[in-house]
Amino acid sequence: MSTPSSVEIFDTTLRDGEQTPGVALSMDDKVRIAQLLDELGVDIIEAGFPRTSQGEQEAIRKISSLGLKAKVCGLARCSRQDIDSAVDNGVDYVHTFIATSEGHMRHKLKMTREEVKAKAVDAVEYARSRGVTVEFSCEDGTRTELDFLKEMHMAVQEAGAHKINLPDTVGTMSPAAMEYLVSEVMQVTKVPLSIHCHDDFGMATANSLSAVRKGARQVHVCMNGLGERAGNAALEEVVMGLLAFLDVRTNVDTRKLGTTSKTVARLTSIPVPENKAIVGNNAFAHESGIHVHGVLRDPSTYEAFSPELVGMQRNIVMGKHTGAHSVKEKLSEYDITLPEHQLEDVVEKVKRLAESGKEVDDAELVALASHIAGQVEKRRRHVELKEFTVFTGMNITPTSTVVVDVDGKLARSSNVGIGPVDAALNAIRSAVSENITLVEYRLNAITGGSDALCEVTVKLRMNGDQKVMSVGKGIGTDIVLTSVDAAMEAIDRLLSKHKI
């Protein structure tokens, strides 16, 4: 059987996706997700399993009444009550299923093959009599004995099923096995065949594509790969994979994948892994100098396709592999241009921070760059800190000891304070000159988080001179060291105006 030129996307985020451990969507959340999936362009929305609860029924009724372009489907076991529960709540499509593998029939259903087949046929006939589109699934189909699977497909299509879905319920297929199985099943399946893959071996997308390659005309998917256990085939991966590898089209507007993914992650409270294909934060992020250089010259050097195609953005990330190209490009987004030597200083600082485990975000990079750009002369001319320690803890007086080189002479001093920063600043002042007065000390966190960069501003005066005030700024992750850095800068400036 040949590969179709287009397939239908059957989205089950609101059913199999809601079976993701820890996910429980409110009615409003379900409605919002259904609307988004409809705008995205999926063909069928499996809105839930109505027989499971009152709340599920209300949500399905509401979604069915929205007048969406997509067909709204309800899941039903092969039972007339389940089918009524779906149809009576307004769906125009019923997905009915029964397990057909030996293990499931023996241990779970405790039914014979004949009983299972009779129940399936009755359910399909009954659902057809209720005037809806009927899709039938042999649950655990890929582990069902092949001849029986074919027998089931023939029986339910005879009974009037519009489509037959083949679930890889436990995700145990490989792409090659899927190609074989679908080719076999296609020999007897005359209605459109659908595929439903779980990701227990990380093969759900590949297996879905294999099924389509051999003739499946519909794929069951969940946004962000949500679903039971390791999840279902991810909508975004299947849609992009079909396009890229098989030239098979869907009605999905790929440019909406990014925002749909983010909203689904927010509403389900299941974050998208950073490195998730297509929609993860890192999917179009570049850190290493070599990659950034390449991508800036021609994105195709390190991007499989353009982020805009899936509604994502390229992101140049600052880290320990960062090079001058990344920093320059990132700063240019903020209209900041630095001369070469200052750019190198920023790169050095970013690398050092990254090596100590601190990621530098945009706000922090801009602050670093502004700080470095503001330092007219980086090397201090009058004072240099040679040694520094501070002791602090519970029930001890914070004490600091410093050794400072003041115009070529070493001065050592210890002092105490009400905290480690106060002790450090006092020790520095006593080593350099008691005539220095602290006018102002200001501490700002540049961004949130316990590892955020902080910015310290220190303002100093020489006693008796009200006219001249000297300012020093420091940026870093350690408040004490950053404060010392800012104080040393302010002292250096003060000493260039005053003799001690």
Where along the sequence are the contacts to ligand KIV (CB under 6 A)? Answer: 16, 97, 137, 139, 167, 169, 196, 198
| Residue 404 to residue 219: CA distance in whole angstroms | 71
DSSP H helices in 130-279: 146-158, 175-186, 204-213, 235-241, 257-268
Interaction partner, residue 139 (Zn ion, ligand KIV, none; CB < 5-8 Å by kind): ligand KIV
Piece of the chain touching Zn ion by CB under 5 A; list 10-18, 106-114, 472-480, 485-493: 10-18
C-alpha span between 363 and 359 (Å, rounded): 11
Residue 245 is classified by DSSP as I
Which segments within 319-452 are labelled E, that is strand?
383-391, 399-406, 409-416, 436-445
Per partner kind, with CB cut-offs from 5 to 8 A, the member of Zn ion, ligand KIV, none near residue 137 is: ligand KIV
Contact region for Zn ion (CB under 5 A) — 13-21, 47-55, 297-305, 485-493? 13-21
Cβ(133)–Cβ(105) under 8 Å? no
Residue 493 contact, options Zn ion, ligand KIV, none, Cβ 5-8 Å cut-off depending on partner type: none
Q: Which is nearer to ligand KIV, 10 or 284 (CB)?
A: 10
CB of 274 to ligand KIV, least distance (A): 27
CA-to-CA dists, residue 235 to 133, 175, 336, angstroms: 22, 18, 40
Q: Is 18 in the site for Zn ion (CB under 5 A)?
A: no
Nearest approach, Cβ of residue 137 and Zn ion (Å): 9
State in angstroms the smallest separation of the CB of 32 from ligand KIV. Answer: 23
* Shortest Cβ 139–ligand KIV spacing (Å): 4
- Please identify, using beta-carbon distances, which residue of 97 and 126 lies nearer to ligand KIV: 97
Least Cβ distance, residue 192 to ligand KIV (angstroms): 16
**Residue written as token pair 């400072």:** 404
Residue 212 has a CB neighbour count (10 Å cut-off) of 25
Q: Hey, CA dihedral for 148, 154, 158, 160, is it positive or negative? A: positive
Shortest Å, Cβ 109 to ligand KIV: 14
For residue 472, the partner it binds in ligand KIV, Zn ion, none, with Cβ less than 5 to 8 A by kind, is none
Using the Cα atoms of residue 318, residue 323, residue 326 and residue 330 in order, give the sign of their dihedral.
positive
- Exactly one of 4, 11, 13, 16 binds Zn ion (CB under 5 A); that residue is 16
Sheet architecture: strand order including 383-391: 383-391, 399-406, 409-416
Length of the chain: 500
Query: Residue 143 binds which entry of ligand KIV, Zn ion, none, with Cβ cut-offs from 5 to 8 Å by kind?
Result: none
Tell me the closest approach of the beta carbon of residue 451 to ligand KIV, in angstroms.
Answer: 42
Give the three-state DSSP class for 234: strand
Is residue 223 a contact partner of residue 234, using CB atoms and an 8 Å limit? yes
User: What, of ligand KIV, Zn ion, none, does residue 489 touch, CB below 5 to 8 Å by kind?
Assistant: none
**Whole-angstrom Cα distance, residue 239 to residue 233?**
10
In the complex, residue closest to Zn ion by CB: 16
Min dist. Cβ of residue 16 to ligand KIV (A): 5
Distance CA 450, CA 357 (A): 12
Stretch that binds Zn ion, among 8-16, 36-44, 47-55, 319-327 (CB under 5 A): 8-16
Looking up tokens 């294909």, which residue turns up?
Answer: 277
Partner that binds at residue 153, options Zn ion, ligand KIV, none, CB closer than 5 to 8 Å by kind: none
Distance in angstroms (rounded) separating the CA atoms of residues 304 and 286: 13
Is the CB of 198 or the CB of 493 nearer to ligand KIV? 198
Interface contacts to Zn ion, rule CB under 5 A = 16
